[in-house]
Structure 1
Amino acid sequence: MRVQLPLKMPARTYQDAIAALNSLQSNYANIMAVRESGDRKNQMNIWEMQEWSRRIGYRPSDFNRLNAVHITGTKGKGSTAAFTSSILGMYRGQLPKVGLYTSPHLRSVRERIRINNDPISEAKFARYFFEVWEKLERTTSPLEKFPHMVPGSKPGYFKYLTLLSFHVFMQEGCNCCVYEVGVGGEYDSTNILEKPAVCGITRLGIDHTFMLGDTIEEIAWNKGGILKKGSPAFTVPGQPEAGYNVLKERASERGTTLETVPVFNGLKNIQLGIAGDFQIINASLAVCLASQLLAKMGVLDTAVTLEEYANIPMPFIRGLEQTKWEGRCQTIQKGNKTWFIDGAHTKDSIEAASEWFKKVTRGTKVKNVLLFNQQSRDAKALVDNLHLVLTPEVKFDHAIFTTNVTWNSGSYSADLVSMNTSKDQVEKLVVQKALAQHWSELDYGEATVHVTPDIQTSHELINGMLEPLNIFVVGSLHLVGGLLVVFDGKQ
């Protein structure tokens, strides 16, 4: 008698995982409805993350094994996370696996979940993604406690990736991990970490006001939410006084300490892996955070002292010099075109990126081109900040305002699909046309102004200009990521 064996299901691919992940994005209409309701993130976000974790087999206390460095702030938290991870990577003999979780990504979603500074492979991403997906399919939550977690539902896009990162790092046996907060801190999905090894807070500023509040005090309160009892915390010099005072209060409430890191003199004559004079502040914080973790884990005898002239170990210097972090003060040479790329999208970061562009192009006789995209924040105000910093030293011969659509076919790269902006506004170039008009008024019509429907068209327009050019790409990490994908040429 022949026995018919069950058909083997085909393995699900990375592309399948990305399609499933994109289905978890909130669309523009839902975002606007929540915004109009005045509903801000609340404690339910943390309770739900704890519940999602339970359903895939973890208690929050299990994540204590990750020896996490938890980093928040408004400006520089991604760079600080990258510096910290790179330093820890110099101690591979004692720490074979260092995890890094950051957001957003540029080319590939896999960039958000790294081990030893490399994005996990497509095969591992797909495998772990569907392990989490299937566990959530097989389990349920009590609806009286979690009314939104009906059978078959999943966490939203960012929450799912955070959950996935915990699963990946636990299954891969990471010795320690660096976690960058997504938005805020108090109610961010990364904040189910109960006992981080150390916490860091980078420069505070005004951003994400809908979720965090309109004042520096409210924003500081949210950022200070990552502070935990028994976890030492450190911040950078030059914080706004009102925000710093709130951070100190939050540290006291949480039963921990908050100390300010000096700008270490030993970093002033090295070439950091991330360009920009301001990065020395983030690098100094990273030195402190990494040394605290390494001392806690017994790799170093003592942490680096908080003194300007403290001795910085040579592996730290190598780690800072070898840090790679695309899209932040990045220079790419392509033929006679020099691309100066920064994903700055807040007032402070736009001003810092503009100062960097002004410095690195000073004295050159090459024409300048601005390539700008910002779809969701106050784009007009960001353009004003940029123009104010660069005028009168830098003049643009061309100013190009584009959407964050990747290809001239009207499609996005699969990893860059964005549903949280108005499709109608993007298609009609509403923001881009308004910015083009505004720029013409700012520079009295000196620049030739262009509006393009996608990043590929912008790239082709610039390449069609035969003379040498300096191109300043700024305003959005979505623009930077899309441009890097177009550079790669893989649709």
Structure 2
Amino acid sequence: MIQPGLERISLLLKGVPLRWKSIHVAGTNGKGSICGYMAAMLRQKQIKTGLFTSPHLMDRWDCICIDQKPVEKRLFDEVEQYFLSVNRKRNIQASEFEILTATAFKIFTEERVEFGIVEVGMGGELDATNVLQNQIISVIGKIGLDHQQYLGTTLEEIAKHKAGILRRGVRYIVNPRNSPRVLHVIDEYAKSIGAGPRIDVEADRVKKTLYSTTEWLEGTHNLAQFQKENAAIALNAVMDALITIGEHSVQDLKLVKVLSEDSRVPGRVERKSINMVFGEQRIILDGAHNEDAAIELSSFLDEGRRGEWSNNLHRQVMRKVGEAQQRAVLFGNRLKTKPITWILAMSAGRDPRTFLSHLLAPGDSVVTVEFGPVEGMPWVKPQPSSELLRAAKDVEPSIIAIDRGTDTLRALYTAKHLLPEDGFVVVTGSLYLVGDVSRLARDLMNPGQHSIVESDGMAAKKASREISQEIDEQRRRLDEEESEAVELLKLDHPSGTEATALHPSTEILDFKHGNTQEELFGNKPSNVMLDGEDGEYHTRVVEPAWLDTPLPPATNGGQQAT
């Protein structure tokens, strides 16, 4: 149960010295990555560092690390039992997260860490981690709408909660990509309590001395833009933290190694091998669970994996053409993308349609599932996978979507069967699902315990046939719907002109004598090509520069396209 407030955690930690310097990190998205980058940098400096993030990924104790390695279960159990006893004897009625936070802080003291990097659980001001009074720097990442029932329904309200981690006389960093009104709320709060000054991670001197160096450029070369921003925040925070122990140089950080290898955060755009299921092909695990995180994940995939036609571009084009053309494009699956097979789960109460609208594209496929019980967090429940399936079909009608209920292993095998030769698999929607898949990958090192991969192979073959039949049936239905869409498109051209789609193996959509380029897209300079022999007009990649300008009406059954 979530119980905001600092009274109980204060009682738990009464008499427990915190002999380490804390770096406190809040934010809606990116705070886990910022923490991971900082831990890797400090380890490179050979400074003993504790790291506390939440929730755990595979095991309850893996959220507490010393020098980037999870603490031993024995140590975790021993310290946790101490606080469970204190909680019982003093009748504190502390929550599971408060017990966990106290456990992390005491372990940091016992292990004699120099720095403790602490990620806020939720919000900031009333979060259990905010009991800390040993901060040397405060960090606030990107702020978005999340946990509104606890933090408020506006960015300003949420920002005020996050700003609660600031301390008088302690410098702080805020992600500069936050909206001006968020930055204003945080800076005003800082001024009211005497916190600061704020460190400007985009100052000219920083750009010249850090971001223009060969080491930084090479280290961040393969990072998505949001990852570069988080890495920059982490580096500036580490530089400031090092000053408190007399270190004034980061020349020995080896940023290329740190940013490309050492700081990979499990469950955040993580590439994972599950050889038992996918062979040599690695899948992507990402714990994105809200709209802002979906946008960042989509950006990452568009930059490196989607191909020429981005997801955002597709959505803009759909707004520019008529309904009949939309249906033909949707069911054509001809856009020049690398199709993604999504394995999805979400927590109850979240908005799947908004989340998925930033991710799904024609040609994709979806497998929905429900994550299992979360150890230590009994209040967390999954969204019914059937509801998630309906939401996915609402967002992208042309996809193949299959519900696997609570069977995560079968979901993986279904994704394998759905996976086209040029596609890839992404597991997302919940860090709890990412944890389930990560544990499953570990368990599959001993395959005999799972019925779908029994040693005699019979169950696996039967399951494989069933999955293939189910997918084939969905593809048949989609083919029928595509044919219906083409027939509707014919009816929307009163002159009797013909409009058809090319063979499914083709990557472009073909309107025979349907619309001229001017009628469908307007006479705009672009990479849209509606030309061909014998009146066959082929829609190819669209240049995005003109997409936000209004277009002339297109023929659409007598209605104007919107």
Matching residue's letter, 1:335: G
Q: Distance in 1 between matches of 2:345 and 2:222?
A: 22
> Conserved in 1, the CA contact under 8 Å of 2:136 and 2:170?
yes
Q: Does 1:370 align with 2:329?
A: no
Aligned to 1:15: none
- Paired residue for 1:463, among 392, 416, 422? 416
- Paired residue for 2:368, among 401, 410, 413? 401
Q: Distance in 2 between matches of 1:402 and 1:460?
A: 12
Q: Does 1:296 align with 2:247?
A: no
Aligned to 1:206: 145
Q: Distance in 2 between matches of 1:489 and 1:273?
A: 34
Aligned to 1:84: 38
Give the deviation of 1:366 after TM superposition: 5.8
Matching residue's letter, 1:179: V
Give the deviation of 1:270 after TM superposition: 2.4
Q: Classify 1:185/1:367 alpha carbon distance in 2 versus 1 (closer, same or farther; 3 Å).
A: closer
Gaps of 5+ in 1: 1-25, 32-39, 141-150, 305-311, 406-411
Aligned to 1:34: none
Aligned to 2:292: 348
Give the deviation of 1:230 after TM superposition: 1.7
Aligned to 2:379: 420
Q: Does 1:74 align with 2:28?
A: yes
Matching residue's letter, 2:30: G
Indicate the structure (1 or 2) with the bigger Cα radius of gyration. 2
Q: Does 1:281 align with 2:222?
A: no
Q: Classify 1:159/1:275 alpha carbon distance in 2 versus 1 (closer, same or farther; 3 Å).
A: farther
What do you get for the CA RMSD once the two structures are aligned? 2.5
Counterpart of 1:226 in 2: which secondary structure? Answer: coil
Counterpart of 1:207 in 2: which secondary structure? Answer: coil
Counterpart of 1:270 in 2: which secondary structure? Answer: helix
Q: Distance in 1 between matches of 2:354 and 2:189?
A: 31
Aligned to 2:541: none
Within 5 Å, give how 1:227-376 maps onto structure 2: 227-257=166-196, 258-262=198-202, 264-266=211-213, 269-272=217-220, 275-298=223-246, 300-301=247-248, 314-321=253-260, 322-333=262-273, 334-335=278-279, 337-363=281-307, 367-376=339-348
Give the deviation of 1:249 after TM superposition: 0.8
Aligned to 1:47: 7
Q: Distance in 1 between matches of 2:265 and 2:380?
A: 26
Q: Distance in 1 between matches of 2:347 and 2:43?
A: 36
Give the deviation of 1:432 after TM superposition: 2.1
Matching residue's letter, 2:342: L
Aligned to 2:74: 123
> Conserved in 2, the CA contact under 8 Å of 1:202 and 1:236?
yes
* Larger RCO, structure (CA 8 Å, separation 6 or more): 1
Higher mean displacement: 182-191 or 260-269: 260-269
Aligned to 2:457: none
Q: Distance in 2 between matches of 1:223 and 1:125?
A: 28
Aligned to 1:226: 165
Matching residue's letter, 2:168: K
Within 5 Å, give how 1:73-152 maps onto structure 2: 73-92=27-46, 95=47, 97-137=48-88, 139-140=89-90, 151=91
Q: Classify 1:416/1:482 alpha carbon distance in 2 versus 1 (closer, same or farther; 3 Å).
A: farther
Q: Classify 1:467/1:235 alpha carbon distance in 2 versus 1 (closer, same or farther; 3 Å).
A: closer
Counterpart of 2:6 in 1: which secondary structure? Answer: helix
Give the deviation of 1:448 after TM superposition: 1.5
Matching residue's letter, 2:290: T
Q: Distance in 2 between matches of 1:339 and 1:49?
A: 39
> Conserved in 2, the CA contact under 8 Å of 1:236 and 1:260?
no
Aligned to 2:388: 435
Q: Distance in 2 between matches of 1:273 and 1:124?
A: 39
Give the deviation of 1:421 after TM superposition: 4.1
Aligned to 2:439: 485
Give the deviation of 1:107 after TM superposition: 0.9
Counterpart of 2:58 in 1: which secondary structure? Answer: coil
Give the deviation of 1:47 after TM superposition: 2.1
> Conserved in 1, the CA contact under 8 Å of 2:371 and 2:432?
yes
Gaps of 5+ in 2: 308-335, 450-562
Give the deviation of 1:315 after TM superposition: 3.8
Q: Classify 1:223/1:367 alpha carbon distance in 2 versus 1 (closer, same or farther; 3 Å).
A: closer
Give the deviation of 1:74 after TM superposition: 1.1
Q: Classify 1:125/1:273 alpha carbon distance in 2 versus 1 (closer, same or farther; 3 Å).
A: farther
Give the deviation of 1:198 after TM superposition: 0.6
- TM superposition score normalised by structure 1: 0.76
> Conserved in 2, the CA contact under 8 Å of 1:203 and 1:239?
yes
Cα deviation digits, residues 418-466 of structure 1 (max 9, x gap)? 52245xxx6xxx732223223223323x221101112122012223458
Matching residue's letter, 2:401: V
Q: Classify 1:158/1:431 alpha carbon distance in 2 versus 1 (closer, same or farther; 3 Å).
A: same
Matching residue's letter, 1:450: I
Matching residue's letter, 2:298: S
> Conserved in 2, the CA contact under 8 Å of 1:105 and 1:112?
yes
Q: Does 1:385 align with 2:354?
A: no
Cα deviation digits, residues 120-161 of structure 1 (max 9, x gap)? 011211222222223444x42xxxxxxxxxx3x542111111
> Conserved in 2, the CA contact under 8 Å of 1:68 and 1:176?
yes
Counterpart of 1:269 in 2: which secondary structure? Answer: helix
> Conserved in 2, the CA contact under 8 Å of 1:274 and 1:329?
no
